Amino acid sequence: MTEAEQAGRPTGTTGTTGPAGANGATAVGEKSEPRGRRRIAVLLAVAAFAYLLDLGSKLFVVAQLEHHDPVQVIGTWLQLDVIRNRGAAFGIGEAMTIVFTVIASAVIVVIARIARKLYSLPWAIALGMLLGGALGNLTDRLFRSPGGLEGGVVDFIATPHFAVFNLADSAIVCGGFLIVILSFRGLDPDGTVHKD
């Protein structure tokens, strides 16, 4: 009988499937739960940062720049021009405000469900950006005029030949882009890697 068997510890934990460390090893039972909590903490921290940055920027531009001429940051290449957008990201579908509010709420629910099995740091960052952005725009839908799930989202970043957008839109796009990359690389939210 080996020392591990005498001590009652599980043997043969290297090379198993499921969430693994950098060396490919994973501990059975006791290591999995704390590792999952750490990834959820990262998701929540990224989401909070994205949300607060978006909220703060909107409060500032509404108070200082709304109903004024656009402010040139980099000539005509980058301007601050405050508008109220009742459509989706980048001004798409203004007649479907309630639909986009429901979609944003559904995205938040889906992220909460995925988070229960979250062991991947890149996925935690991607989902955090997605969650923070969705919460940022959902806050506008709920609390800005005219209210009732139809509030106008504050957009203020204007570039040539492109729709005016905000930091929440940017977080959503960056999070979605990262998720596409992770999916193509075969990395699942639980940390497993699929190789075709």
155 part of the active site: yes
Catalytic option among 54, 140, 155, 190: 155
- Could you tell me the two tokens for 48? 């909070």
**Count of H helices and E strands in the chain?**
5, 3
Catalytic residue among 169, 188, 190, 196: 169
Beta strands in the chain (DSSP E): 71-74, 78-85, 153-158
Q: What DSSP string describes 25-36?
A: B--SSTTHHHHH
The identity of residue 155, as a single letter, is D
Q: Computed from CA positions of residues 139, 178, 116, 45, in that sequence, does the dihedral angle turn out positive or negative?
A: negative
Question: What residues act catalytically?
Answer: 155, 169
